[in-house]
């Protein structure tokens, strides 16, 4: 089989389409948040000048079980919600990417399991499995674009992903994220923009395309040799 299944590319295309749809829905929700807020009139105790308590009415806003008495619901749904949605999307992308790399490795080398334990000190699973492809010598394409994509994914994206997985998005230092487009630090927490999610998808696509090209080159050379 000359052309391997586009495991990674197809999965990324599906997630990208889903992400674009979610961003559109989120944007529409935020722009029209007042349409989703319900107002209820409630009785509240009021202290009079004579220090007697009497009851008056007040209007309280509600949205999805949250009350403006307890939360700034506009801030929760317009500022906090996008933060959590995009970190969830980053985690989804990362999990799918590693899983698809495993599928590709198992398909190519006809094994049941891909390398799971990183080999060497401070070697991530991502770097280990990509190095495992190289060790199989499939005429691997080590382009500058590929090397740069792997470096960013392993050292930058993985670090941000780990911050959300293990520390609720908190980074121990701001120096790491100061010069990353699409990333901000708010109250020591990494805030991921929709532009950064697109960037991550594109980095993963570069790796996917390089792997496919390498395998196809190896297959073509084998045919020509035969």
- Domain boundaries, given as residue ranges, for the chain: 7-31+78-225
Average pLDDT over every residue of 113-128: 83
Q: What is the pLDDT of residue 120?
A: 75
Mean pLDDT, rounded, of the chain:
84
Task: Check whether 5 has a pLDDT greater than 70.
Answer: no
Reported confidence tier of residue 220, pLDDT bands at 50, 70, 90: low
- pLDDT for 187 equals 83
Write down the pLDDT at residue 2: 41
158-164 mean pLDDT: 94
Mean pLDDT across 118-144? 81
Which strand (E) or helix (H) includes residue 83? helix 81-109
pLDDT at residue number 1? 35
DSSP class of 170: B
Phi-psi region of 184 (alpha: psi -120 to 50; beta: other; left: phi over 0): beta
By the 8 A CB rule, do 152 and 125 touch?
no
| 11-22 residue pLDDT tens | 899 999 999 999
Segment among 21-25, 172-176, 205-209 with least mean pLDDT:
172-176
Identify any residues that bridge with 55 across adjacent strands, giving them in sequence order: 45
Tell me the percentage of the chain whose pLDDT exceeds 70. Answer: 83
| Confidence at 163, pLDDT banded by 50, 70, 90 | very high
Contact indicator for 173, 143 with CB cutoff of 8 Å: no
> Does position 121 have pLDDT exceeding 90, yes or no?
no
């Amino acid at each position: 089989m000359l052309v391997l299944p586009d495991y990674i590319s197809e999965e990324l295309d599906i997630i990208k389409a889903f992400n674009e749809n979610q961003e559109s829905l989120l944007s529409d929700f935020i722009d029209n948040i007042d349409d989703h807020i319900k107002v209820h009139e409630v009785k509240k105790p009021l202290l009079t000048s004579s220090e007697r308590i009497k009851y008056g009415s007040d209007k309280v806003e509600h949205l999805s079980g949250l009350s403006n008495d307890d939360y700034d619901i506009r801030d929760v749904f317009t500022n906090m919600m996008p933060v959590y949605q995009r970190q969830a999307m980053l985690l989804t992308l990362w999990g799918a990417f590693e899983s698809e790399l495993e599928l590709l490795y198992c398909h190519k080398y006809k094994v049941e399991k891909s390398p799971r334990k990183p080999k060497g000190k401070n070697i991530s699973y991502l770097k280990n499995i990509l190095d495992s492809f190289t060790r199989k010598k499939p005429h691997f394409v080590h382009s500058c674009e590929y090397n740069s994509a792997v470096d960013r994914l392993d050292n930058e994206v993985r670090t941000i992903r780990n911050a959300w997985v293990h520390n609720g998005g908190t980074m121990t230092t701001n120096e790491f994220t100061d010069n990353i487009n699409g990333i901000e630090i708010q109250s020591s927490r990494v805030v991921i923009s929709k532009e950064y999610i697109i960037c991550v998808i594109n980095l993963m696509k570069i790796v996917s395309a390089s792997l496919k090209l390498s395998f196809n080159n190896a297959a073509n050379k084998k045919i020509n040799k035969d």
